[in-house]
Amino acid sequence: MAKKGPRQHMGLKCSKCGHFNYISERNKTNTPEKLVLSKYCRTCREHTEHKEVSKLK
Q: Using the rule CB under 5 A, which residue among 16, 28, 34, 47 binds Zn ion?
A: 16
38 binds Zn ion (CB under 5 A): no
Which residues are CB-contacts of 8 (< 8 A; sequence separation ≥ 6)? 25, 26, 28, 54
Which residue, 20 or 28, has its beta carbon nearer to Zn ion? 20
Which residue, 19 or 51, has its beta carbon nearer to Zn ion? 19
12 binds Zn ion (CB under 5 A): no
d(C-alpha 3, C-alpha 12), whole Å: 24
Q: Which residues pair with 12 in a beta bridge?
A: 22, 52
Supply the minimum distance, in Å, between the C-beta of residue 51 and Zn ion: 11
